[in-house]
Structure 1
Amino acid sequence: MDNPAPGPIVSAMNRDSDILITGGGLNGPVLALALARAGFTVTLIDAAPPEADASAAASRAYAIAAGSRRMLARLGLWAALAPDAQEMAEIKVTDGRAGEGPARGMLHFDSAEIENGPMGHMVEDRHLRAALAEALGAAEGVTLKAPVRVVAQEAGPGGVTVTLDSGERLTGLLLAGCDGRQSGTATRAGIRRAGHGYGQSAITCTVAHELPHKGVAHQFFMPGGPLAILPLKGNRSSVVWSERTERAEKIVAGPDEAFLAALRPAFGNFLGQIRLEGARGLHPLGLSLAERFVAARVALVGDAAHGLHPVAGQGLNAGLRDVAALAQVLGEARRRGEDVGTGPVLERYARWRRFDTATLAATTDFTTRLFSNDNPLLRLARDAGMGAINAVAPLRRAMIREAAGLTGELPELMR
């Protein structure tokens, strides 16, 4: 990594916080809590007001893998989330066509096959944000600045300075960018992005249904894109329905009954009658990777570093691994007496996360391209492949552990 150009000299006496974080979505607040737990002072800068409840997020829920659940427990968040979290006991993955039901070839993941408990839990966005807001309010060493935007940043040998749209300037040793795929932190640091769109958008919503889901998550690979039906508390499920963007926009724009009329043939009747509960969201889908995860006094986390297709449900989990890895690297560097914002320290974080992220990006990209079509030969090969994998117990269990976030070099917070 290049040495920073001459810039602000930031001493312990005049810096506002050890670490500055941009982005108050999900990864930013979790990173603030993890760093505060490690003894750092943190300033979290968010463009949205603290009480904001974005309608785009209100329709969403997240699959929290077992490794991520451990981390949230270590940070004191899981006790607040557990009453509203729905265990995922099983995951069933199959090809499908609207109105035809699942194909014969199927991957079936059962939490009972691993020793670590359920593969994951489903947690609604509203519950996760509420728990984070409460924890941030009680955390020592965390300062929240909102609603304000960073308009400039400058890195130097001794630290980094950001300028807010209010005119205020803040200083620290490191700037962590948790500000999403359109990361201003990355752009101002000169970090370019590579990627492409899929011509798909994800429709997100919550439905109530007559029959119990029994904690089973379903993923149907439809010709227009994958349809995930994910269990929530009660007789309710979170739907993530990927469709060609033009069709998705028309579906979302219609009234509720027209929306349900489009969803029902794809959803099927295995849970009885369904009805819409709450808002609908629409999210364009693509692959977006930062060419570097770090720059002078800058580290990127979550979607700011890697935006993935939701086909594997690992977007938030990958971001939380970034959080856990960065917090560990910075904590270890501080104990050794190092300046936590310097190149050698940040490269340890980048090396740790680069391979895991590249592998996950390649896997989700390949899966999306392979399954988002109705080619009969590919469909036959896919079904045969899933059936063959499902029949090999050691391979199936390895994939269950991967889905649970229990493989690879786990950061301390996830062990």
Structure 2
Amino acid sequence: MDNPVQPAILPDMRTDSDILIVGGGLNGPALALALAQGGLTVTVIDALPEPTRKSDAFDGRSYALALASMRLLKAVGVWQGVAAQAQPILDIVTSDGRAGEGPAPFFLEFPNGELEEGPMGYMLEDRFLRQAMLEAIAAEPRITTLSGETVTGQAPDATGLTVTLASGKTLRGRVLVGCDGRRSGVAERAGIRRTGWDYGQTALVCAISHEKPHNGTAHQFFMPAGPLAILPLPGHRSSIVWSETHRNAATIQALDEAGYLSALRPRFGDFLGDIALEGKRFSYPLNLTLANAYVAERVALVGDAAHGVHPIAGQGLNLGLRDVGALAEVLVDSRRRGEDFGMLNVLSRYQEWRRFDTTVLAAGTDAINKLFSSDNPLLRLGRDLGMGALNVLPGLRRRFIREAAGLTGDLPRLMKGRPL
């Protein structure tokens, strides 16, 4: 009988950190905290200067965090600092219609009471989550942060990887992780190509105040030009993610505040009373972009660097945090076994764990967007009847609720609320 293949043993080498992470947004610091919890040393390299990252001004950006994502943030010590600012999502209502005409009579509702673990998720403003991440990594001695630095080169070798910064400084590590977005330089330098397409839509993002209480209900209203998400924030405020064609979005974004609200009101309706803008307005083009591989020699990709999906289900950050939990678990467990955790056969365990899940979700959001971003009367009738039928099937509806809460599939330990 042939001898089984033995894992590569962790070699002795000088490193600045075990793991080098490019990108200091949200996924990068979350991964750094998880890895540090597992005993690894980490350097986070972020292009933004520190004062910009530490700004606590309200700018309207918010995130829908699934219950499983909250558990991960709690496990790495971040949630405790933001829980008081989070708004529980107690109900989700999905409907179809046209601007100015209101929703169709058939709709789909996911009530909170059908999930025994608690709220399906939480809405949290970017400023609070980012600040809590920065404070947590600053307090962790195993994490070093380099602000205002960009990576210009990466060179893997048999025992590790050397990263060159724009300042001329070089760093050594065992693994380089790209948390640097849809145009990931880490992926490009590693020779990882991407597959995807443009949706012909732009997302308009803002926050509003309104007269009536939202009661913790999130709304997803599908219109021919694209979906409108109304997501509850603390108080009489909501976050808006509103998809329009590129041309319409550019026209609306260029309007003054009064004109912008005049365009939003017929789409929004009057169920929450009068509305007003809070904070800044943002817009960004919508596309699907999937890395053809999540790993390469001494390299792994996380979050949008691996998969950029349509925001229709609000799963972007949740997918990234699931990547964080899976990669941290693979690296920490491999180190505990004495393996060289930067070897491709080790990193491939992360890819095998995450790639199918994210590809299926990307395909699902793509199909839903194409199905609902159509004014074909037969399609409208079919999808409305389908939502109405699903709404009276509690078993299937409960499955969708658990999916929205991030409680299905092969969850990393951190997303079960367990430490590494």
Same-fold call, TM cutoff 0.5: yes
- TM-superposed CA distance for 1:58, in Å, is 3.1
Percent of aligned pairs with the same residue? 59
Matches for 1:212-227 after TM superposition, within 5 Å = 212-227=213-228
Matches for 1:328-367 after TM superposition, within 5 Å = 328-367=329-368
SS at match of 1:242: strand
Long gaps (5+) in structure 2: 1-9
SS at match of 2:105: strand
Aligned to 1:284: 285
Aligned to 1:163: 164
Indicate whether 1:248 and 2:249 are aligned: yes
Aligned to 2:141: 140
Aligned to 2:326: 325
SS at match of 2:367: helix
Aligned to 2:314: 313
- CA deviations 1:300-345 (Å, max 9, x no partner) are 0000000000000001000000000000001110111001100111
- TM-superposed CA distance for 1:276, in Å, is 0.4
What is the alpha-carbon distance in structure 2 between the residues aligned to residue 110 and residue 222 of structure 1? 23
AA in 1 matched with 2:83 = A
Aligned to 2:175: 174
AA in 1 matched with 2:37 = R
SS at match of 1:58: coil
- TM-superposed CA distance for 1:102, in Å, is 1.1
AA in 2 matched with 1:16 = D
- TM-superposed CA distance for 1:11, in Å, is 6.2
Residue correspondences, number? 406
Aligned to 2:379: 378
What is the alpha-carbon distance in structure 1 between the residues aligned to residue 22 and residue 57 of structure 2? 20
Does the Cα contact within 8 Å between 2:178 and 2:299 map onto a contact in 1? Answer: yes
Does the Cα contact within 8 Å between 1:56 and 1:282 map onto a contact in 2? Answer: no
Aligned to 1:26: 26
* Larger mean Cα displacement after TM superposition, 55-64 or 22-31: 55-64
Matches for 1:37-116 after TM superposition, within 5 Å = 37-52=37-52, 58-116=59-117
Aligned to 2:408: 407
What is the alpha-carbon distance in structure 1 between the residues aligned to residue 59 and residue 304 of structure 2? 19
AA in 2 matched with 1:396 = R
SS at match of 1:72: helix
Aligned to 2:399: 398
* Larger mean Cα displacement after TM superposition, 385-394 or 85-94: 385-394
Aligned to 1:236: 237
Indicate whether 1:187 and 2:188 are aligned: yes
SS at match of 1:366: helix
SS at match of 1:133: helix
Does the Cα contact within 8 Å between 1:88 and 1:216 map onto a contact in 2? Answer: yes
- TM-superposed CA distance for 1:254, in Å, is 1.0
AA in 2 matched with 1:49 = P
What is the alpha-carbon distance in structure 1 between the residues aligned to residue 108 and residue 293 of structure 2? 35
Does the Cα contact within 8 Å between 1:55 and 1:281 map onto a contact in 2? Answer: no
Does the Cα contact within 8 Å between 2:184 and 2:305 map onto a contact in 1? Answer: yes
- CA deviations 1:171-196 (Å, max 9, x no partner) are 10000000000000000000000000
Does the Cα contact within 8 Å between 1:56 and 1:280 map onto a contact in 2? Answer: no
AA in 1 matched with 2:277 = L
- TM-superposed CA distance for 1:13, in Å, is 4.8
SS at match of 1:320: helix
TM-score, normalization: structure 2?
Answer: 0.95
- TM-superposed CA distance for 1:57, in Å, is 9.7
What is the alpha-carbon distance in structure 2 between the residues aligned to residue 148 and residue 45 of structure 1? 6
Rate the CA distance shift 1:118–1:55 in 2: closer, same or farther, 3 A: closer
Aligned to 1:259: 260
AA in 2 matched with 1:22 = V
Does the Cα contact within 8 Å between 1:55 and 1:279 map onto a contact in 2? Answer: no
Rate the CA distance shift 1:166–1:135 in 2: closer, same or farther, 3 A: same
What is the alpha-carbon distance in structure 1 between the residues aligned to residue 186 and residue 31 of structure 2? 16
AA in 2 matched with 1:108 = E
TM-score, normalization: structure 1?
Answer: 0.96
SS at match of 1:104: coil
SS at match of 1:201: strand
Q: CA RMSD in A?
A: 1.4
Does the Cα contact within 8 Å between 1:179 and 1:303 map onto a contact in 2? Answer: yes
- CA deviations 1:325-381 (Å, max 9, x no partner) are 000001110111001100111010000001100110010000011111111110000
- TM-superposed CA distance for 1:59, in Å, is 2.8
SS at match of 2:241: strand
Aligned to 1:149: 150
- TM-superposed CA distance for 1:12, in Å, is 4.6
Does the Cα contact within 8 Å between 2:196 and 2:287 map onto a contact in 1? Answer: yes
- TM-superposed CA distance for 1:36, in Å, is 0.6
Long gaps (5+) in structure 1: 1-9
- CA deviations 1:203-248 (Å, max 9, x no partner) are 0000000000000000000111000000000000000001001111
What is the alpha-carbon distance in structure 1 between the residues aligned to residue 60 and residue 39 of structure 2? 35
What is the alpha-carbon distance in structure 1 between the residues aligned to residue 296 and residue 224 of structure 2? 40
